[in-house]
Amino acid sequence: MGFDKEKVDYSVYLVTDAPMVPEGLTLKHQVEQAVANGASIIQLREKTADTREFVKLAREIHEITKKADVPLIINDRVDVALAVDAEGVHVGQGDMDIPTLRRLFPGDNKIIGVSVNSVDEARQAIKDRVDYVGIGAVYGTATKNVKNPPFGPSGAREILTVLEEECDYDMKTVAIGGIKDTNSQLVKYLSTTPKGTKSLDGMAVVSCIMAVQDAGAATKKLRQVVGSDGPWVRARNDLATSSAALTEMVPKLAAKIAEISPLLHHITNGVVKNISANMSIAIGASPAMSEVVEEFADFSKVPNGALLINMGTASPEGVDIFKAAISHYNSQGRSIVFDPVGGGASAHRRAAVRTLLNAGVFDVIKGNEGEIFSAAQIQGTKMQGVDSRGSSELEKCISACKKLAHENHTTVLMTGQRDILVEGQEPYRVAVFKNGHEYLGKITGSGCMLGSLISAFSTVHQSDAFAAAASALILYTLAAEQAVKSPSVNGPGTFLPALIDAVHDLSQQSINGKTDWTKNANIEFL
């Protein structure tokens, strides 16, 4: 079969690295195994070999790739590519410019690729009309000295968005930098543009194939995961698209929570552990407060379970704990709720939020106005400690929620005097909730308790994170309105225990089939 660059499969793009090859094996052997098991394109990178040695190796590798109709790309060295009639050349930003490269390496059927690390470099690649770009470094890597810090899937998404909006031809894209079988699905999912029309065409890998004893098995595994969705991608059905549908759903889901008693794994701050646990029990769930990484694998495998990440303690060690938990729960397809507490209060916290958004997929991101604006990287209301100071107009708040939701393919809840819920996937629902009481803003941990309820509802309605979050919010805010009517409530201090009691009462009513308590829900779909 003749080579046609328009039909090249970029899904598993192997970059060679001879020093990584295990003792007793050869680079040629690793490439043979990779090509036989699904590697779709090979880049030969030899930074220290002299010309004669490089050409000899390139000819040997080309014999392997040609038999499988897999393109051979030579890194940087145009002379070597010409000597072996390779299918393409890849250059970095510090290597030969593309116009000169095209003059030296002509041919309509030759592949030209370039590394890009910024939107400006991506725009230049468009002008040069390269065939593909290698986007990275996504994560840190020991295989190459990178001048710029890794930018995660979000950085790749920014570049893909530029290509989506400004490129008038089908430029191919591969991610590079710390990519392996355990994170490739995540990188592809989180880097996909908000519109969903531009995603990565492949993953460029080095060590996860070159450095292992069984390169064939490693390639086969990578090929399988690259071609499939991550466990967090679920069938979306029974979507509630009206106020009536939501309010009808809430008691049914509340009763289901009490029936299955889901495990709610909290990683939260010490201030709210007690009240979060009590709120979880009030709704019928089973709380676990654990930062012990060794437990995360077991907890994540509990069938009826969810993870709540409350970023109240954002120390470097804490962020590492969050990342470990997110990885385990994502791998099992469990629900994760992220509460970026105080996310805009300091540069350190803003960086921690970006790190966590790059670390995994969340079903719901919940925060106050300041936290959501900060997470969306939009100038908005100011933070004082972990509290939000200011009130932006409704349209601006919805816009911030949309940006955060669409970019991260999640559902976003902004709490405040009116609560805003925005869905980041089709059908892109937006709703404003107008229940609750001012005392919710005068007690410690009101948002944290809501996070516990959202986690509980997400375990019984994984197919619709928007409806799960809405259900938790409806029950919680109506419980607040009920609690303030209690004779025992004289202010915020007496309101808190009454609130927990009210949540328990509404849960019990739901178990007993009583639904009248939902009639006062005030929801506006936009």
Mean per-residue pLDDT, 130-154: 87
What is the pLDDT at residue 383? 45
What is the pLDDT at residue 146? 62
What is the pLDDT at residue 141? 76
Query: Has residue 312 got a pLDDT over 90?
Result: no
What is the pLDDT at residue 148? 80
What is the pLDDT at residue 379? 80
Find residue 387's DSSP bridge partners.
384
Q: Is 397 a catalytic residue?
A: no
% of the chain with per-residue pLDDT over 70: 96
- d(Cα 32, Cα 154) in Å, to the nearest integer? 34
What is the pLDDT at residue 391? 60
- d(Cα 89, Cα 75) in Å, to the nearest integer? 6
Mean per-residue pLDDT, 395-421: 96
Give the predicted TM-score (pTM) of the model.
0.93
Find residue 267's DSSP bridge partners.
309
Sheet holding 430-433, edge to edge: 286-289, 263-267, 305-310, 335-339, 364-368, 411-415, 419-423, 430-433, 523-525
In the structure, what pLDDT confidence band is assigned to residue 313 with cuts at 50, 70 and 90?
Answer: confident
Please tell me which residue in 208, 397, 401, 448 is annotated as part of the active site.
448
What is the pLDDT at residue 344? 87
Tell me the per-residue pLDDT of 5-29, one tens digit each, with 9 for 90 and over: 999 999 999 999 999 999 999 999 9
Q: Are 97 and 74 in contact (CB under 8 A)?
A: no
In the structure, what pLDDT confidence band is assigned to residue 2 with cuts at 50, 70 and 90?
Answer: low
Tell me the per-residue pLDDT of 47-56, one tens digit each, with 9 for 90 and over: 889 999 999 9
Query: What's the Cα-to-Cα distance from 365 to each of 45, 104, 304, 405, 518, rounded to whole Å?
Result: 42, 51, 20, 8, 24
Tell me the per-residue pLDDT of 382-406, one tens digit each, with 9 for 90 and over: 545 555 455 679 999 999 999 999 9
Tell me the per-residue pLDDT of 336-375, one tens digit each, with 9 for 90 and over: 999 999 898 899 999 999 999 999 999 999 999 999 999 9
Query: Has residue 440 got a pLDDT over 60?
Result: yes
Tell me the per-residue pLDDT of 52-111, one tens digit each, with 9 for 90 and over: 999 999 999 999 999 999 999 999 999 999 999 999 999 999 999 999 999 999 999 999
Q: 58: Cβ–Cβ under 8 A, 6 or more apart, which residues?
A: 44, 72, 74, 80, 81, 83, 84, 86
% of the chain with per-residue pLDDT over 90: 91
- Mean pLDDT of the chain, nearest integer: 95
What is the pLDDT at residue 238? 80
Could you tell me which of 3, 11, 47 has the C-alpha nearest to residue 187? 11
What is the pLDDT at residue 387? 52
Query: Mind listing the domains of the chain with CATH numbers?
Result: 5-227 (3.20.20.70), 243-525 (3.40.1190.20)
Mean per-residue pLDDT, 148-159: 95
What is the pLDDT at residue 314? 84
What is the pLDDT at residue 380? 63
What is the pLDDT at residue 510? 98
Tell me the per-residue pLDDT of 179-217, one tens digit each, with 9 for 90 and over: 999 999 999 999 999 999 999 999 999 999 999 999 999
Tell me the per-residue pLDDT of 115-135, one tens digit each, with 9 for 90 and over: 999 999 999 999 999 999 999
Tell me the per-residue pLDDT of 253-267, one tens digit each, with 9 for 90 and over: 999 999 999 999 999
